[in-house]
Structure 1
Amino acid sequence: MVITWDPNKALSNIKKHRVSFEVAATVFNDPYHLSLLDSKSQGEDRWVTIGLAADKKTLVVVHTYIDSDSDEFIRIISARKATKNERKSYEEGI
């Protein structure tokens, strides 16, 4: 799995949400993470993934996902701490 992001967007995400993309990327290592296609996205397919990060915080990560023959490619767009309701949905496995 190859995970990338725009460095400028990563800096603005830290300022806005206090979540680094380095930490957000660890959500994809959570065997219980949940990913749903964002029905509001226009143009490119965007996914919303909720899972437990390496720092033990439940995060919501918006990203693109491409599965090719050679690898999986994820580009992180934004990341934030999950709301109480989102955390509950994650814990209940939606």
Structure 2
Amino acid sequence: MVFEWDPEKAAANLRKHKVSFAEAASVFLDPLALTFLDPDHSDEEDREITIGPSSKRRILFVSHCERGDRIRIISA
């Protein structure tokens, strides 16, 4: 999997939630992580929410979308 994110959004997320987007990306490595569609938060693209444990053993709620062959992390 290839991940991408906006660096400014990632910095703001780290300040606000104390979660780096690199840690958020680790949630996708867990085969038991759950992914749901999130139609309420974007009219422009299909957004999803994935919930699962991170590499730091924290349960994270990760908002993301697919852009081609990449997963773009929006918030965590």
After TM superposition, is the score higher than 0.5? yes
Is the counterpart of residue 27 in structure 1 residue 24 in structure 2? no
Query: Shift of the alpha carbon at 1:43?
Result: 1.0
Distance 2:74 2:44 in 1: 14
Query: Shift of the alpha carbon at 1:15?
Result: 0.9
Query: Shift of the alpha carbon at 1:65?
Result: 1.8
Query: Shift of the alpha carbon at 1:77?
Result: 0.3
Which ranges of structure 2 fall in alignment gaps of 5 or more residues? none
Which ranges of structure 1 fall in alignment gaps of 5 or more residues? 80-94
Residue in 2 aligned with 1:39? 39
Count of residues in correspondence between the two structures = 75
Deviations 1:29-65 (A, max 9, x none): 0110000010202111100000110000000000002
Distance 1:36 1:43 in 2: 17
Query: Shift of the alpha carbon at 1:28?
Result: 0.2
Residue in 2 aligned with 1:74? 71
Query: Shift of the alpha carbon at 1:19?
Result: 0.4
Distance 2:70 2:35 in 1: 14
Give the 3-state SS of the residue equivalent to 1:55 in structure 2: coil
Would you identify which runs of 4 or more consecutive aligned residues in structure 1 move more than 2 Å? Answer: none
Over alpha carbons, which structure has the higher Rg?
Answer: 1
State the TM-score, normalizing by the size of structure 1. 0.75
Give the 3-state SS of the residue equivalent to 1:16 in structure 2: helix
User: Percentage identity across aligned positions?
Assistant: 51
